[in-house]
Chains A and B, each alone.
Chain A
Amino acid sequence: MSGFDTLLAKQNSKLALDAQALGLPTKRVESWKYVPTRALTRTSWVEATPRSASGFALTAGRFTQAPRGLQVQGASLTETESARLDALYHAQGFALTHGALESECLVLRVAKTDTQTLSLTRLANQACEAGFATLVIRVEAGAHLTLLETFEHSETMDANLDSLCILWMLERDASGTHVRYQAANDSAQTFTSIDVQTAENARYTMQSVDFGSKLARTDIQVTLGGRGANTELHGLAVTNGSQYHDTHLSVDHAVGDTQSAMAFRTMVDGKGEATFNGRVLIRKDAQRSATEQSVANLLLSDTGRINPKPELEIYADDVTASHGCTVGNFNQTGSFICRSRRSL
């Protein structure tokens, strides 16, 4: 049983049937072990009502005012894109639910050697409303896109849900910069799944800041699929009250001469909880690859909780890899020292 059953029952698709049969992930699913699913299962979710927006926005699972120059009208997905989304949707029960309830799949395209900047605002849904959407971004050879993703902070007091799946397809020498600032209101259930496919010499960078939401779950998967491809991922999550933030990150060095660097910082105060899972896979043939991962967490209270899990899986023998993970208590004295040193 899940709070999405009524919505799923209205759909006549295999995905919806599969989602209903599978249900939402339980704590037995390793990647959802710490996720508080109470609001997801106990809320009777209804279809969200679109709101008016100025500029490119996501509301009720639909995009408004997509940039004309970038939007690919009536586009059908390529085989690779369909395969990627299919794999994402079948990862677990919530992703299946997303796939089944998705209202829109928008395709954007940045033409060869072009440079574009795009701002996307994710508007809050109303009480008990849920919206699901997918964005496919094709960045052609040598082109660059900067995506600024922000979240509206509404006054909605009851649970509301917004789920977005973003698929980046970066062609040869293309690059994508993704800047995220998540400050949704404290009743929001915010889900984001980011999948990045990189060709030769392509580059994906992300800076992500998470402050808001009752529950914010972010899945990031980067496949370094062409020689010279590289990624840099930076994140900061600050959790307070009874918020829960969860970042699941996976970088796949599928071929050689690829680089990845990750730095994630988390601070938890009050009864907040945060989970960080960072997995780096270096495949057997991905020789001369390099990866760095730095994860540092600070507990600001005795009642908060942090669940960090860095994972490094290396099958090649000519690689450079480093990772570090710390969890520290930041008590009153530590706070005083930083204030005295003007560092807070």
Chain B
Amino acid sequence: MLSIRNLHAKINETPILKGINLEINPGEVHAIMGPNGAGKSTLTSILAGRDEYEVTAGEVVYQGQNLLELEPEERAWAGLFLSFQYPVEIPGVKNIYLLKAAVNAMREHRDLPELKAAEFLKLVREKLKIMQMDEAFLHRNVNEGFSGGEKKRNEILQMQLLEPTLALLDETDSGLDVDALRIVGEGINRMRSPERSVLLVTHYQRLLDTVKPDFVHVLADGQIKLSGDYTLALRLEKEGYEGIEAA
């Protein structure tokens, strides 16, 4: 589904990614772990199409397409979803408008009829229930006044509505208390399917207790230094990144 080959990128003149190689097949969940500043968020941002990073070498092929040539909205149409590490507030734009516009744009791209207001409400209420969110969130401005945990739940709510093919979850577990972590983790698990892949960026192993990844990779100094199965996350939790960074 996703093939990243020798990806190099920089921001301003500072190299961040120094040759990333990664293969993600349909149905797989990959976790990327690593110390601060390793380039984890840079990787997801580049995959989603943020333009402040400059790709200096390498390629990214997503479902047979050169992903790096696509605009952010084209990537989204192609089934890519980025859950933001720091979901921003958008005053003046109600959550329900953003969600409805996003869902209907996705449906239009998939040649599905637009959801009428009542149909959309029914769908979004189902998803709100899963994420244990109050309906009042719909009528508030996007992320405005939301707590850290509410913002992250709102991100996963969007993922549930948009049903992406490849979900990039950037530190979705940061700032979550134990209960919110479980709800978010279960929300992600509900989305697992043989056709859908997940690339999950995290600092800690705790989210991986709920969302068991098929592969764990350690990203340090702009490169994937080590890959393994779920037990690698357990090892990192115990031993830290120091030995791996030095490798």
Contacts and interface: CB of A to CB of B under 8 A. Distances in A.
What secondary structure prevails in chain A residues at the interface with B?
A: mixed
A334 B90 contact: yes
Interface stretch (A214-222, A240-248, A321-329): A321-329
Contact of A330 (B90, B97, B102, B106): B90
Interface stretch (A34-42, A100-108, A111-119, A335-343): A335-343
A12 interface: no
A276 to B, nearest CB: 13
A73 interface: no
A342 B88 contact: no
Interface in B35-52: 48-50
**In this complex, which of A328, A329, A330 has the most chain B Cβ atoms within 10 angstroms of its Cβ?**
A328
Contacts of A297: 92
A339 B158 contact: no
A343 B92 contact: no
Contacts of B72: 336, 339-340
Given A339-B73, A344-B73, A327 B91 contact: yes
Nearest to A298: B92
A340 B88 contact: no
A342 B92 contact: no
B162 interface: yes
A206 interface: no
B90 A340 contact: no
B73 A298 contact: no
A298 B82 CA distance: 24
A78 interface: no
Contacts of B88: 331, 333-334, 337
B21 interface: no
B174 interface: no
Contacts of A319: none
Contact of B71 (A326, A330, A334, A339): A339
Contacts of B84: 337
Contact of B162 (A328, A329, A341): A341
A17 interface: no
B57 interface: no
Interface in B53-104: 71-73, 75-77, 81-82, 84, 87-88, 90-93, 97-98, 101-102
A342 B93 contact: no
B190 interface: no
B132 interface: no
Contacts of A340: 48-49, 72-73, 75-76, 81-82
B141 interface: yes
Contacts of A338: 90, 93, 98
Contacts of A333: 88
B105 interface: yes
A59 B28 CA distance: 65
Given A334-B88, A340-B48, A341-B76, A298 B93 contact: yes
A330 to B, nearest CB: 7
A331 B71 CA distance: 18
Contacts of B75: 340
B109 interface: yes
Contacts of B93: 296, 298, 328, 330, 338
A299 B77 CA distance: 27
Contact of B90 (A327, A337, A339, A342): A337
Interface in A82-103: none
A226 to B, nearest CB: 31
Contacts of A337: 84, 87-88, 90, 142
Nearest to B100: A343
A343 B88 CA distance: 15
Contacts of B91: 326-329
Nearest to A265: B92
A186 B171 CA distance: 46
Contact of B92 (A296, A339, A341, A344): A296
Nearest to B84: A337
Given A338-B98, A339-B49, A342-B109, 7 more contacts: A296-B92, A328-B141, A330-B90, A336-B72, A339-B73, A340-B49, A340-B75
23 contacts: A296-B93, A326-B92, A327-B92, A328-B93, A329-B91, A330-B93, A331-B88, A336-B49, A336-B72, A337-B84, A337-B142, A338-B93, A339-B76, A340-B49, A340-B76, A341-B98, A342-B77, A342-B109, A343-B97, A343-B101, A343-B102, A343-B105, A344-B73
Which 7 pairs across A and B sit closest by C-beta, in order of nearness?
A: A328-B91, A328-B92, A342-B105, A343-B101, A341-B102, A339-B72, A296-B92
